[in-house]
Amino acid sequence: MHAHPDIEVFLERLRRHHGYPQLSAAKVAMLGEPSAVAVVAEDRTIVGIGVVAPHRQPQGHEHWSAETAVEPSLQFVEFERAVLSATLELVPRRAPRSVWAHRSTTVDALSSMGFREVRSLAYMVVDLPVDVPIGEQPVRPFEDGDRTALVDLNNAAFTGHREVGSMSEDDFLDYAGAPWFDPAGIVVLEIDGAIVGFCWTKVHDNGDGEIFRIGVAPDLHGRGFGRTLLAAGFALLAADDRVRRGSLWVDESNATAMALYTTTGMHVERRNREFEPAL
């Protein structure tokens, strides 16, 4: 199902105001599920929404994550709390949950509700083209027959990441149905017939070309494959006339990745922080 047109209009207006989307791709994919969306309106005009999504964990349970988008003139703590409260009511009782926040008012509201920060993601950017040395291992374009291997590798590469590391083939197909998806924006790295790395890109309306996912088999870290895939991804994006700079999200606790991206000239532009209930 597709999102209600009024929700799409609201989110597009906020995107133009802020210069970037207010919800992640995972939450946008849930907008067509009425049970996953809380809408706050004044005089039939949407002024805030919240979205939740379940993520199946290796232990068998589901972890629920939430995000909100709020009318700029109403971005103050009391209203943020109201939107957050309505959103969290959508999460099954006693289910593990977390909330992502990129606005300071959301952070303050979550703190006042007894939440604590557990993770910080940095959005890093660099003007394109950028010169990143490419290793000797060649990459090739993604093919539809690679889907299962890519999903499995994604989950192995992002073990411990409750959302990114729990992708299913159905999740991949949901992404494949999104307007931004382009299979030509994915490259894979293969050794002896096995896919051991991939770089998945997407293009935003604001001219940012994002490395949406980049992963290498855990037992092959330290061999320069990450840099090779990063260079291939940037080359794909630089060849697109719509793109003026490269970007990606990275967990700030990943010192190795932060160092790699910094050496390519990337810098942190903004952050998105994950919060959990303190108790």
In this predicted structure, what is the pLDDT of residue 58?
78
pLDDT (tens digit per residue) in 131-179: 887 667 889 999 999 999 999 999 999 988 888 998 999 999 999 999 9
Q: Which of 116, 145, 175 is the last residue of a domain?
A: 116
pLDDT (tens digit per residue) in 37-71: 999 999 999 999 999 999 988 777 899 999 999 99
Alpha helices in the chain (DSSP H): 5-18, 25-28, 77-88, 104-112, 147-157, 169-176, 225-238, 255-263
Domain count within the chain: 2
In this predicted structure, what is the pLDDT of residue 121?
97
Residue 104 has pLDDT above 80, yes or no: yes
- Asked whether residue 154 falls in the same domain as residue 242, the answer is yes
Average pLDDT of span 216-238: 94
Long-range Cβ contact pairs of 257-264 (< 8 A, separation 24 or more): 257/226, 258/122, 260/226, 260/227, 260/230, 261/124, 261/230, 264/126, 264/130, 264/132, 264/230, 264/234
Sorted by sequence, the CB contacts under 8 Å of residue 55 that are 6+ apart come out as 62, 63, 64, 65, 162, 163, 166
Average pLDDT of span 7-35: 94
Q: Which of 89, 116, 143 is the last residue of a domain?
A: 116
Band of the pLDDT at 266, cuts 50, 70, 90? very high
pLDDT (tens digit per residue) in 179-213: 999 999 999 999 999 999 999 999 998 999 999 99
- Asked whether residue 158 falls in the same domain as residue 106, the answer is no
In a domain, 278, yes or no: no
In this predicted structure, what is the pLDDT of residue 236?
95
In a domain, 279, yes or no: no
Residue 110 has pLDDT above 90, yes or no: yes
- Asked whether residue 35 falls in the same domain as residue 149, the answer is no
- Asked whether residue 54 falls in the same domain as residue 101, the answer is yes
Cβ atoms 270, 123 nearer than 8 A: yes
Q: CATH no. for residue 178?
A: 3.40.630.30
Question: Cα–Cα distance between 152 and 166 in angstroms, integer?
Answer: 9
In this predicted structure, what is the pLDDT of residue 56?
85
In this predicted structure, what is the pLDDT of residue 131?
86
Q: Which of 116, 137, 163 is the last residue of a domain?
A: 116
232 or 59, greater pLDDT: 232
- Asked whether residue 133 falls in the same domain as residue 31, the answer is no
Phi-psi region of 47 (alpha: psi -120 to 50; beta: other; left: phi over 0): alpha
In a domain, 42, yes or no: yes
- Asked whether residue 247 falls in the same domain as residue 112, the answer is no
- Asked whether residue 56 falls in the same domain as residue 36, the answer is yes
Which pTM does this prediction carry?
A: 0.92
Q: Please, is 13 exposed, middle or buried when counting C-beta atoms within 10 Å of its C-beta (0-12, 13-18, 19+)?
A: middle
In this predicted structure, what is the pLDDT of residue 1?
58
In this predicted structure, what is the pLDDT of residue 89?
98
Band of the pLDDT at 279, cuts 50, 70, 90? confident
Give the domain extent around 241.
125-273
- Asked whether residue 175 falls in the same domain as residue 59, the answer is no
In this predicted structure, what is the pLDDT of residue 160?
82
In this predicted structure, what is the pLDDT of residue 137?
80
In a domain, 182, yes or no: yes
DSSP state of 137: S
In a domain, 95, yes or no: yes
Coil vs helix vs strand at 140:
strand
